[in-house]
Amino acid sequence: MPQPTAVNPAPDSYVYCPRCATPLVTQPVMDKPRRVCPACRFVHFTDPKVGVGVMVVVDGRILLVRRAMNPEKGKWSIPAGFVDSGEDPKETAVREAAEETGLRVTISGLVDVYFNPPAEPGAPGASIFILYKAEWVDGILRAGDDAAAAAFFGPDELPELAFASTKDAIQRLRLM
């Protein structure tokens, strides 16, 4: 049986095959070294993690949530979360807004798509972040899920902000 190679091409790569528990080897697959199972031919593709957020603006003020968890715990960001496998990112955005702020929103447009390389290998966070524009339909503002607080802020009364995408959204708010 082949031995697992000592050097893994990525810090989150597997040592053993998640399908059949055979030690993986590193081989070039589609122009990159990847972890491959010599028994069942499983290939570990390290897929990007996708996050989505909503930019909800009412009377020139933007909806932000205070983060209850790392990364950037205690700072404020736009309501956001990770896309589940098989989930439409727009549904994720609506779901996360409801979970974190109590507000039911509808998606009204795409603001931008961001690429966030991890601060260090394996660091938490999304490598691809989709920011939607959304409108408040109904619901009452209350913090929930992994948000410690939820509130609207004008561009001149901002709290400490998390993430480049939030700062970019604020910059766009100033230009609106």
Phi, psi (deg, nearest 5) at residue 144: -150, 180
Q: By CB under 5 A, tell whether 19 contacts Zn ion.
A: yes
| Residue type at position 11 | P
List, in order, residues 6 or more apart from 6 with CB less than 8 Å away: none
Q: By CB under 5 A, tell whether 37 contacts Zn ion.
A: yes
Q: By CB under 5 A, tell whether 24 contacts Zn ion.
A: no
Binding part of the chain for Zn ion, among 36-44, 59-67, 146-154, 160-168 by CB under 5 A, reads 36-44
- Cβ distance to Zn ion smaller for residue 16 or 113: 16
Q: By CB under 5 A, tell whether 20 contacts Zn ion.
A: yes
> How deeply is 173 buried, as exposed, middle or buried, from its count of CB atoms within 10 A (0-12, 13-18, 19+)?
middle
Q: Minimal distance in Å, beta carbon 35 to Zn ion?
A: 10
Q: By CB under 5 A, tell whether 25 contacts Zn ion.
A: no
Q: By CB under 5 A, tell whether 39 contacts Zn ion.
A: yes
| 10-19 long-range contacts, CB within 8 A, separation 24+ | 10/46, 10/121, 11/121, 11/122, 12/46, 12/121, 12/122, 13/44, 13/46, 14/44, 17/42, 18/42, 18/44
- Cβ distance to Zn ion smaller for residue 42 or 82: 42
Q: Minimal distance in Å, beta carbon 29 to Zn ion?
A: 14
Q: By CB under 5 A, tell whether 14 contacts Zn ion.
A: no
DSSP string, 50-77: EEEEEEEEETTEEEEEEESSSSSTTSEE
Binding part of the chain for Zn ion, among 18-26, 65-73, 144-152, 163-171 by CB under 5 A, reads 18-26
- Cβ distance to Zn ion smaller for residue 40 or 123: 40
Give the position of tokens 């920011």.
131
Distance of alpha carbon 67 from the chain centroid:
13
Q: By CB under 5 A, tell whether 158 contacts Zn ion.
A: no
Q: Which of 8, 29, 33, 42 binds Zn ion (CB under 5 A)?
A: 42
**Residues at the site binding Zn ion, with contacts judged by CB under 5 A:** 17, 19-20, 22, 37, 39-40, 42
